[in-house]
Amino acid sequence: MEILLQVDSVGKKYARSMRHSLDYGLRDAISEMTGRGRSLTLRTEEFWALRDVSFSIRRGECLAVLGGNGAGKSTLLKILSGMLLPDGGRVDKRGRMEKMIELSGGFSPVLTGRENVALRARMLGLSARQLAERMDELEAFAELGESMDMPVQFYSTGMRSRLGFALSVVMRPDILLIDEVLAVGDLGFRMKCYERVDEMRRSAAVVLVTHSMNHVARMATGVLVLNKGRVAYDGAVQGGIVKYQELVAGGAKPKETSHRSELIEFFLRTPHGNLLDGASTEFGAPVVLVGRHGAAEPLTLSVILGEVKGHALMEWNSKRSGFVFKPGDDFQVDLGPLQLCPGLYQVSIIGFAPDGRQVFLSRALSFKVTGEYFNSIRLQPLGQWMVVRSAAIESTEVQDFVT
Amino acid sequence: MRQVFSKMRQIYAVSWMLTKRTLVIEVRTSRLGWLWPLMYPVAYTVLFLTLKPVMQPTGSSGFDYALHVFVGLSLWQLWFEGLQTQMRAVKAQRSLLSRADLDPGALFLSGFFVQAVYLLPRLGLALVLAATFGSLNSIWSAFIFVSMSLAVVLNGSVIGFVLQPFSTLVPDIGRLIQSLSLALMLTGGIFVVFPQDMNENTLTLLALNPLGPLVDTARSQLLVQAPHFEWAPWVWSGITVMSLAVQIRLSRKVLPVLLERLGG
């Protein structure tokens, strides 16, 4: 398959202040006019937003570009789309490019949806005949009905996005740039969007900028991870997801919210040994929590498993199991196989006095779960899948229908 | 060669679509619509006629002066609006420019076409008045009048186009032009009637303002009088066309720089 997009050592500088930005803009404009080209050195108040980024994409491939806020994803997308000129390197494109970026913008509010489509399509190089051929397809896709002949200023944001999306999909581009907008509208319309983008993915080269690992796992054939403007990873999808999660979570240490943490010590034990703070364990590995508390009164314990930057996911409460631990007791709880989506998690323990008073909150022990990424749903129990006799579907009783 | 023609055809088609868009928006959002191009020159012509005994008691009067002022103000307004439209074009169309590969030439042409459309009712009224009251004596004069009027509009648009990169990045330039507008009107003879026996040095100085020679040559066809400037209108026309050809090429290189600095 031919290479449709080739990016070689692309770099981009920005100025931190508006005054400098306009001044440098004037100098760059004069340099462009006189054919002198741009300076590769940093001027006062400038910084590299993107540096030495290289990759290539063939027809039928989808490259997901991941990175935290300020990593350079949008800058890269703007360079690829031609909105920005790189300050270093070059971009070679073959064929027609379509950009799914801020779909609800760029329409003339006084003109109708149909008129806006006609204007945009002609600007993108479609002839009047080609536009006429595709207008029916566009109207059917956008599902705007009579609203197509209303001024766009009366459209909701969702309607504008649908119009913008429909316009993008009927252009049949060779290169498709998608900036966080994989689907818009209600659920039914979103399914249509996914279906169409999937179709386009097979016949075009796609660059997908997204924060959704679901989309990455589902659509990408490769991942490029950016960190502070540089390439941190360029390769297979699963590896890219892991790298991205490391970068995003590594930058945000869990807040130290312990209380009297000296009263509890614990560790997690796996078949491979103790799980140290920040270490990895595989998906589904059995984990046992072992610990000792030093409080002066009997306690019930609550073990909380949650995301490093987010919500609690599971709790094991000794009170529910009827256990009360006396001062100095060693304890153990089998957490079972940790069937969690690959990512970063933490475990902490709360000790409660018999009267319900919280006695201590331990420091969190964080760990990483590794494995194949399917989607972003955190709890992914394997369940017990089996083939059953067809009668099982019709029966209202729980019976053993294993064939 | 085929690609060049195909590209030129596309630029023309897009610029015409943008022109229609601007005109449609004007018509849909304005009750007075097509009357607007005439209101400014007609209203100010009446005002200047009324104030002439106070402002310029000597010289031509009556119909000749009215036509002098009407044509001057019509062309001035389109020259100035064309200049400002081009200077602001990138900022005004930033959203469209960042979503589609819009050639700067198409953007320029659409601005010029809009001004040319607004010129039509004014030219029409001027020609009808001149023909009715006997000062227009040949088809050739009418042709020169129309051509020079278009040259005035083109000149203003081209100057704005050349200033566009600078005015986009340095807003002070736009304010400077605004503050010079009265000086441009006075030295351009927009409503002032220059005496026929002007000093050569004064004429040369006045020729530095493109409005003076171009408007004077256009107007002289209707008023059946010798133009004040001999070579200046043709020099300015030549400079206009050459500047346009150069600027279209340069603007393609500069446009991404402007969009980048405007942000969004």
CA atoms within 13 A on the CB side of A200: 29
Provide mean pLDDT across the span A45-68: 93
Q: What is the DSSP letter of B197?
A: T
Q: Do A123 and B254 touch (CB under 8 A)?
A: no
Q: What whole-number percentage of chain A has pLDDT above 70?
A: 94
Instruction: Give how far B28 is from chain A: nearest CA, Å.
Output: 8
Give CA–CA dist B163/B213, Å, rounded: 21
Look at B165 and A84 and tell me if their CB atoms are within 8 Å: no
Contact between chains at A111 and B25 (C-beta distance less than 8 A): yes
Q: Other C-beta atoms within 10 Å of B143: how many?
A: 11
Residues 68-127 of B with CB under 8 A from A: 95-96, 98-102, 106
* Cross-chain CB nearest to A122 (options B17, B29, B256): B17
For residue A317, pLDDT beyond 90: yes
Does the pLDDT at position A296 exceed 60? yes
Segment A365-378 shows an average pLDDT of: 86
Instruction: Check CB contact of B172 with chain A, cutoff 8 Å.
Output: no
Report the distance separating Cα B148 and Cα B211, nearest Å.
11
Phi, psi values for residue A231, rounded to 5° = -80, 120
Q: Which residue of A has its CA nearest to B254?
A: A29
Q: How far is CA A291 from CA A265, A329, A362, B19, in A?
A: 6, 9, 11, 77
Give the nearest partner residue to A125 out of B10, B169, B257, using CB atoms: B10
Question: What's phi and psi for B253, nearest 5 deg?
Answer: -80, -30
Kindly report the number of other CB atoms within 10 A of residue A150's CB atom.
15
User: Over chain B, what is the mean pLDDT?
Assistant: 87
The beta-carbon neighbor of A29 closest among B25, B98, B258 is B258
Q: Which of B109, B253, B261 to mutate to test the interface with A (most CBs of A within 10 A)?
A: B261
Q: Which residues of A touch B (CB under 8 A)?
A: 21-22, 24-26, 28-29, 32-33, 82-85, 99, 101, 105-106, 108, 110-111, 115, 118-120, 122-125
Please tell me which residue, A388 or B84, carries the higher pLDDT value: B84
Chain B residues in contact with A175 (beta carbon < 8 A): none
pLDDT of residue A400: 55
Instruction: Yes or no: say if A92 and A5 are a contact pair by the CB < 8 Å rule.
Output: yes
**Closest to B256 (Cβ–Cβ): which among A83, A99, A111?**
A83
What digits encode the pLDDT tens for the residues A182-241? 666 777 788 888 888 888 888 899 999 988 888 888 889 999 999 999 999 999 998 898
**A106, B29: Cβ pair inside 8 Å?**
no
User: Cα distance from A124 to chain B (closest Cα, Å)?
Assistant: 6
Q: Which amino acid is at A133?
A: E
Nearest to B192 by CA among B170, B224, B215: B215
3-class secondary structure, A221: coil
Residue A399: pLDDT over 60:
no
Whether B121 contacts B208, CB under 8 Å: no
Asked if pLDDT for residue A312 goes beyond 60, the answer is yes
Which residues pair with residue A88 across a beta bridge? A11
- Angstroms from A249 CA to nearest CA on chain B: 29
Encode pLDDT of A255-267 as tens digits: 667 888 889 999 9
Q: How many CB pairs under 8 A join A and B?
A: 81
Q: In this predicted structure, what is the pLDDT of residue B28?
A: 83
Tracing tokens 């040259």 back to the chain, one arrives at B151
Confirm whether pTM is higher than 0.90. no
Amino acid A394: pLDDT: 67
Tell me: pLDDT of A56 over 90: yes
ipTM of the complex: 0.75
Q: Write down how long chain B is.
A: 264
**pLDDT for the residue numbered A271:** 87
| pLDDT above 70 for A393 | no
What is the rounded CA–CA span in Å between residue A367 and residue A217?
22
Average of per-residue pLDDT values in chain A: 86
Whether residue B238 contacts residue B154, with contact meaning beta carbons closer than 8 Å, is answered with no
Contact check, Cβ <8 Å, B10/A84 = no
What does the DSSP 8-state code read for residue A20? H
Q: Digits of tens for pLDDT over chain B (264 positions)?
A: 887 888 888 888 888 888 988 888 888 888 777 777 888 888 988 998 888 888 766 666 678 888 889 999 999 999 999 999 999 888 888 877 777 778 888 889 999 999 999 898 888 989 988 888 767 778 888 999 999 999 999 999 999 999 998 888 888 888 898 899 999 998 998 888 888 888 888 889 999 999 999 999 998 888 877 888 889 999 999 999 999 999 988 888 888 888 888 875
List, as own/partner pairs, every contact residues B208-213 make where C-beta atoms lie below 8 angstroms and the sequence separation is at least 24, other chains included: B209/B184, B210/B155, B210/B159, B210/B236, B210/B239, B210/B240, B211/B75, B211/B76, B211/B79, B211/B152, B211/B155, B211/B184, B211/B185, B211/B187, B212/B187, B212/B188
φ, ψ of residue B137 in degrees (nearest 5): -115, 0
Q: Is the pLDDT of residue A18 over 90?
A: no
pLDDT-derived band at A302, boundaries 50, 70, 90: very high
Whether B242 contacts chain A with CB within 8 A: no
- Tell me: pLDDT of A179 over 50: yes
Q: Residue A403 — pLDDT band, cuts 50, 70, 90?
A: very low
Q: Would you call A83 and B95 a contact, using CB atoms and an 8 Å cutoff?
A: no
